[in-house]
Chain A
Amino acid sequence: MSYRITGSTGEWEIVVGLEVHAQVVSEAKLFSGASAEYGGEPNTHVSLVDAGFPGMLPVLNQECVAQAVRTGLGLEAEINLFSRFDRKNYFYADLPTGYQISQFAHPIIGKGKVLVDLADGSTREIGVTRLHLEQDAGKSIHDQDPTRSFIDLNRAGVALMEIVSEPDIRSPEEAGAYLRKLRQILRYIGTCDGNMEEGSMRADVNVSVRKPGETEYRTRCEIKNVNSIRFVMMAIEVEAQRQIEVWEAGGTVDQETRLFDHVRSETRSLRSKEDAHDYRYFPDPDLLPLVIEQSWVDELKAALPELPEAKRARLEAEYGVSRYESSVLCVEQAIADFYETVARGADARLAANWMLGDFFAALNRTGRSIEDSPVSAEGLRELLGLISNSTINGKIAKEVLEDMVETGDSASAIVERKGLRQVTDTGAIESAIRDILAANTDKVEEYKSGKDKLFGFFVGQTMKAMKGKGNPALVNETLKKLLSE
């Protein structure tokens, strides 16, 4: 079903394009040797180049270029062997040179795409227009002094990838799915950590609305610097609503830059088109055009890790997991790796079941991530092995897993310590069943006179008597035999 907003004049469709600024994972900044690490005391990760000292010159960091190319490959995009850096000129206190070095006319990456999965099980392709490299600016701090602002240049010059989508997004859900998928790809490739709280991923959101069936786009507004997926989805909704109200009141939407206020759940005008900067882009004469070799791109491609879509397809084929299971297992590379470690040498379907069920529940309960999971993949594999070889049954296994989480002991050690080994001795099972039947002669009669449902009661009673350790198959089999005597 298409997403529609109903206004007073009928239904409206929304049109959204996203510009994502993703901080490149690299040791050093885009054009200087200063550390690109997040945090640090203000102005401690700053070189003379970053601070715009006279006579300082930018020198391109090749690793940042490699990261952009890897990302382009992950987006199945055109890799431009010729690209160029331009200066985007504007004055601001946290921009020491008075210009940002960016790629305006000739970006390093051209058209690509992102496949997103929607809640109804459908898949959509969102086009990527381009990806270019640019420098981040510094940070202005306005709340430390009543009359003065302070500047922290730690971020100044850090490499960003600006990833621009086509206006292909048609709902807040699609925008959220696009951002999650993009973040997933970036994390897989290791080109951006995708940490939105630390600002390593931010989005500018372009929103317009139109009547279903209209072929032209109406005027859009750009909502700047939204820093969480949830806020992006909220901002789209409230901005679309605002524009619909403007149109329906007989007005026109003005092209402008807006800010999203999540507390008031509204967008506010930041500057109109008339106040827009004239950035006076021109090729940066301090840098030569960036020319890369196809052979280098091929090398980077060969060294790329398996990407989410490919990994899902492989897990489904190799381990027989479902489409849903593959999507959950591939959310993060670490989860997929964990799964594969468990699944190799265990029942792969059982492994998927356990990871999506009790294992994730245990992670949630303890607030731990896959990287610092209280149970190792090897430990979980051992536990599942105990189920497969009938040492314990599934119910006991849940108890063992809880113990593992708590104590860190191995599954087999817990089974031994607690004496949880499954009883497969038919004599012991038979004796337990006979005791139950003897104590419940009335129920036995009822069963024999046709109340089949009581079979479950006898199973439960037997397991209870055996403290859960009876082999379920043997218990069933023996019960059937004795009840038919």
Chain B
Amino acid sequence: MSGIHDFTLASARDALKARKISAVELTNAHIDAIERLDGQLNSFITRTPDQAREGAKAADAALAKGEGGNLCGIPLGIKDLFCTNGVRTTAASKILGNFVPPYESTVTANLLKDGAVFLGKLNLDEFAMGSANLTSAFGPVENPWKRKDSEAKLVPGGSSGGSAAAVAAGLVLGATGTDTGGSIRQPAAFTGIAGIKPTYGRCSRFGTIAFASSLDQAGPMARNLQDCAILLESMAGFDPRDSTSVDTPVPNYEAALKRGVKGLRVGIPKEYHVDGMHAEIEALWQQGMTWLRDAGAEIVEVSLPHTKYGLPTYYIAALAEASSNLARYDGVRFGERVSAPSLDGLYEASRAAGFGEEVKRRILIGTHVLSSGYYDAYYLRAQKVRTLIQQDFLKAFENVDVLLTPTAPSGAFAQDEKPTDPVQMYLNDVFTVPASMAGVPALSVPAGLDARGVPLGLQLIGKFFDEETLIAAGHAIEQAAAFHHRPTLHAGVSA
């Protein structure tokens, strides 16, 4: 049977164009679903139903005239790290208070220009710092998936946990995410959806609240790669307001789905066979290789020798930048100011009250690695290692077209299974961080369920600005995996 919640973004787009369904109908169905389910999931920080209905009406008017962009009338959720004109933007932190930007981020402006309808702002780890969406000042997000044998609340991954949960539960047809070290790919894997971290510089960072500027990259999250491709085509593009944005044409990503993988050389980085990796993950990886080989690709072992330095150097480089990027949240202009007799006192009190524990930890680490006497040993060395990691990829890509790896070392864990050691938590990013450090594009596609019925993802890593080959290879896995499972909590009829 097929209902309004069985639409993918692509099929909804086609139905809207064919006027088989109205944008208002589609939007209302999603608003209803949010009202029904999000009390439990907590994937939204701010809901904007009135604005969404207005957008849907405008979309219907455009569609009636045969006009409207590629996303006309498509209800989306926006990670609450993107500034949205007139709509509160929080970065899931108390420090911003009720900050309402008088401007629109370039990525969301691009989506609006193509006719998208925004249902609201999605929950995340505070300032995108986390891998389980447990650090939000607006409470944790619950993964709509449950283990077969348990009612335990699972994490949706992070930091784009709200985006992942909302897409997986059918509350939105697609969502924006941002990925600094895995924040799109890991939650996509944890919730059984697809997500793309594009090449650094592909999507503008203008108007997106910064975590680590040299790593942050916006990308799409949706039910499948076709939907992601449609979203990415809208989100991407050169922006003169972001000096790190790259002026290169945006291809038709959706068309890349049909390319196939015949003759494609797929690299398997041997260093990704990490100690203690779960057997199920290893098996899924092998399965992925088989699928791609069966589809006509050639599987080649490659070496990325500096992989093991990825995590420590990432946590130096990213946190150094973060410590500086977050300095502007000082109680002087935004959020609750905690008064004190001196300026330094005001900073200390406001930042103590406004930032959560994980953000404070990261600011401290970042400040430390840039300090006089430690800079060379940490920051400078990390920059050098980062160059080596990038060279690893460039070298590997002389020989192969894409790399295949698991997305995360495990499936979603339960909220109360959160590691007490923060470094253990950081290990979630072990497979996703190297591509971020290199700036190359990567994606995650759902590939199966683990023994407890929780989804697992496979990651593909591609060459600079070659998202098309990634999408083609990812689609081959999608077709072979035929992942049609649904989470326990879903807007439509549950599986």
Residue ranges of A at the interface with B (Cβ–Cβ < 8 Å): 48, 51-60, 87, 89, 91-93, 96-99, 149, 151, 278, 280-282, 285-288
Q: Is the CB of A97 within 8 A of B328?
A: yes
In the complex, are the beta carbons of B243 and A288 less than 8 A apart?
yes
A52 and B241: CB pair below 8 A?
Answer: no
Where the two chains meet, the residues of B that have a C-beta atom closer than 8 Å to any C-beta of A are: 82-83, 89, 91, 96, 99, 101-103, 105, 205-210, 212-214, 240-244, 320-321, 323-324, 326-328, 330, 332-334, 343-344, 347, 367, 370-372, 375, 379
28 A/B residue pairs, CB under 8 Å, sorted by A = A54-B89, A54-B96, A54-B101, A55-B83, A55-B101, A55-B205, A55-B209, A55-B210, A57-B243, A59-B241, A59-B243, A89-B370, A91-B330, A91-B343, A91-B347, A92-B343, A96-B332, A98-B326, A99-B324, A99-B327, A280-B370, A280-B371, A282-B321, A282-B375, A282-B379, A285-B244, A286-B210, A286-B243
What A residues does B367 contact at CB under 8 A? 280
Given contacts A52-B328, A98-B324, 5 further A-B contacts (CB under 8 A): A54-B99, A54-B101, A57-B241, A282-B375, A288-B244
If over half of B's interface residues share one DSSP class (helix, strand or loop), that class is named, otherwise mixed; here it is: loop
CB distance from A271 to the nearest CB of B (A): 14
Task: List the B side residues contacting A58 at CB < 8 Å.
Answer: 243
Minimum distance in angstroms from B96 CB to a CB of chain A: 7
CA distance A53 to B333 in the complex (A): 9
Residues of B within 8 A of A92 (CB): 343
The residue of chain B having its C-beta at the shortest distance from the C-beta of A59 within the complex is: B243
Chain A residue with the shortest CB-CB distance to B347 = A91
Cα distance, A99 to B321, chains bound together (Å): 12
Q: A52-B333, A280-B371 are in contact. Are A57 and B242 (CB under 8 A)?
A: yes
B286 CB, min distance to chain A CBs, angstroms: 38
* A54/B330 in contact, CB under 8 A: no
Q: Which residues of B contact A56 (CB under 8 A)?
A: 206-207
Shortest Cβ gap from B239 to chain A (Å): 9
Report the separation of the CA atoms of residues A161 and B89 in the bound assembly, to the nearest whole angstrom. 36
Q: Are A51 and B324 CB-contacts (below 8 A) given A59-B241, A285-B212, A285-B214?
A: no
Q: Which residues of B contact A48 (CB under 8 A)?
A: 102-103
Name the residue on A nearest B332 (C-beta): A93
Point out the residues of chain A lying under 8 angstroms from B244, CB to CB. Answer: 285-288
CB neighbours of A96 from chain B (8 A): 328, 332-333
The answer for the CA separation of A239 and B332 in the assembled complex, in Å, is 37
- Shortest CB-to-CB span from B159 to chain A, Å, is 16
A278 to B240, CA, bound (A): 33
Which residues on A sit within 8 Å (CB–CB) of B214?
285
A contact residues around B102 at 8 Å (CB): 48
A90 to chain B, nearest CB (A): 9
Known A59-B241, A280-B371; judge A54-B328 contact (CB<8 A).
yes
A93 to B333, CA, bound (A): 9
* Smallest CB gap from A92: residue in B: B343
Q: A54-B96, A57-B206, A59-B240 are in contact. Are A282 and B370 (CB under 8 A)?
A: yes
CB distance from B345 to the nearest CB of A (A): 12
CB of A11 to closest CB in B, whole Å: 38
Chain A residues with Cβ below 8 Å from B324 are 87, 89, 98-99, 280, 282
Question: In the complex, A57 Cα to B243 Cα: how many Å?
Answer: 8
Interface SS, A side: loop
Q: Which residue of A lies closest to B344 (CB)?
A: A91
Nearest chain B CB to A280 CB, angstrom units: 4
In angstroms, how far is the closest chain B Cβ from the Cβ of A157? 13
If A60-B243, A99-B327 touch, whether A54 touches B83 (CB-CB below 8 Å) is yes
A-B pairs with lowest CB-CB distance, top 5 = A98-B327, A285-B214, A280-B370, A285-B213, A55-B207
CB-CB under 8 A for A55 and B105, given A89-B324, A98-B328, A278-B371: yes
Known: A52-B333, A55-B105, A282-B379. A89 touches B327 (CB 8 A): yes
Determine the residue in chain B with the shortest Cβ distance to A87: B324
Shortest CB-to-CB span from B338 to chain A, Å, is 15
Given A96-B328, A98-B327, A285-B213, the answer on whether A278 and B372 have CB atoms closer than 8 Å is: yes
A288 to B96 alpha-carbon distance, docked (Å): 28
A202: shortest Cβ distance to chain B, in Å?
Answer: 23
Q: How far is the CA of A149 from the CA of B83 in the complex (A)?
A: 29
* Whole-angstrom distance between the Cβ of A300 and the nearest chain B Cβ: 22
Residues in B whose Cβ lies below 8 Å from that of A54: 83, 89, 91, 96, 99, 101, 209-210, 328, 334
User: Which residues of B sit under 8 angstroms from A87, Cβ to Cβ?
Assistant: 324
Give A49 Cβ to nearest chain B Cβ, in Å: 9
A89 vs B347: C-alpha distance when bound (angstroms): 14
Most chain B beta-carbon neighbours within 10 Å: one of A54, A92, A96, A149: A54
Q: Which residues from chain B contact A57 at a C-beta distance below 8 Å?
A: 205-206, 241-243
Closest residue of chain A to B83 (Cβ to Cβ) is A55
How many angstroms from the CA of A282 to the CA of B368 in the assembled complex? 13
Identify B206's interface contact among A55, A99, A278, CB under 8 A: A55
Q: Is the CB of A98 within 8 A of B89?
A: no
B91 partner residues in chain A, CB cutoff 8 A? 54
Partner of B213, one of A93, A98, A281, A286: A286
A55, A57, A97, A98 interface centre (most CB from chain B within 10 Å): A55
B240 surroundings in chain A (CB, below 8 A): 59
Q: Roughly how many angstroms separate A329 CA and B320 CA in the complex, as a whole number?
A: 54
Distance to closest chain A CB from B82 (angstroms): 8
- B328 to chain A: closest CB distance in Å? 4
A55 touching B208 by the CB < 8 A rule?
yes
Whole-angstrom distance between the alpha carbons of A282 and B316 in the complex? 13
Q: How far is the CA of A397 from the CA of B102 in the complex (A)?
A: 67
A93→B332 CA distance, assembly (Å): 7
Q: Contact between A93 and B89 (Cβ–Cβ < 8 Å)?
A: no
| Complex contacts, A278 vs chain B, CB 8 Å | 371-372
Question: Would you give the shortest CB distance from A140 to chain B, in whole angstroms?
Answer: 9
From the candidates A91, A93, A282, name the one contacting B327 in the complex (CB within 8 A).
A91
Chain B residues near A89 (CB, 8 Å)? 323-324, 327, 370
Q: Looking at the complex, which one of B205, B206, B327, B371 makes contact with A97 (CB distance below 8 Å)?
A: B327
Return B349 CB to nearest CB of chain A, in Å.
13
> From residue A285, how far is it (CB to closest CB) to chain B in Å?
4
- B97 to chain A minimum Cβ distance, whole angstroms, is 12
Q: Which residues of A contact B210 (CB under 8 A)?
A: 54-55, 286
Given A48-B103, A53-B101; A98-B208 close (CB under 8 Å): no
- Say how far B262's CB is from chain A's closest CB, in angstroms: 38
Contact assessment for B343 and A93 in the assembled complex, using a CB-CB cutoff below 8 Å? yes
* Interchain CA distance A280-B323 in the complex, whole Å: 10
Chain A residue numbers with a CB within 8 Å of B372 are 278, 280
CB-CB nearest in chain B for A60:
B243
**Bound Cα distance from A57 to B216, whole angstroms:** 13
Minimal Cβ-Cβ distance residue in A for B90: A54
A54 to B332, CA, bound (A): 13
State A151–B327 Cα separation when bound (angstroms).
17
Cα(A151)–Cα(B323), bound, Å: 24
A52 to B324, CA, bound (A): 12
Measured CB to CB, the closest approach of chain A to B354, in angstroms, equals 13
Report the separation of the CA atoms of residues A96 and B328 in the bound assembly, to the nearest whole angstrom. Answer: 6
Which residues of chain B are near A51, meaning CB under 8 Å?
333
> What residue of chain A has the Cβ atom nearest to residue B370's Cβ?
A280
Q: Report the separation of the CA atoms of residues A285 and B324 in the bound assembly, to the nearest whole angstrom.
A: 10
Query: In the complex, are the beta carbons of A285 and B321 less than 8 A apart?
Result: yes
Shortest distance between the CB of A84 and any CB in chain B (Å):
12
A99 contact set on B, CB distance < 8 A? 324, 327
Identity of the chain A residue whose Cβ is nearest the Cβ of B89 in the assembled complex: A54
A98 / chain B contacts, CB cutoff of 8 Å:
324, 326-328, 330
Given that A91-B344, A280-B324 are contacting pairs, would A287 and B371 also be in contact in the complex, using a CB cutoff of 8 Å?
no
B344 to chain A, nearest CB (A): 7
Complex Cα–Cα for A278 and B324 (A): 13
Please indicate which of the listed interface residues A51, A52, A58, A98 has the most CB atoms of chain B within 10 Å of its own CB.
A98
A151–B330 Cα gap in the complex (Å)? 14
- Which residues of chain B come closer than 8 Å to A151, judged between CB atoms? 332
Alpha-carbon distance between A320 and B98 when the two chains are bound, in angstroms = 73
A98 to B96, CA, bound (A): 16
B344: chain A residues within 8 A (beta carbon): 91
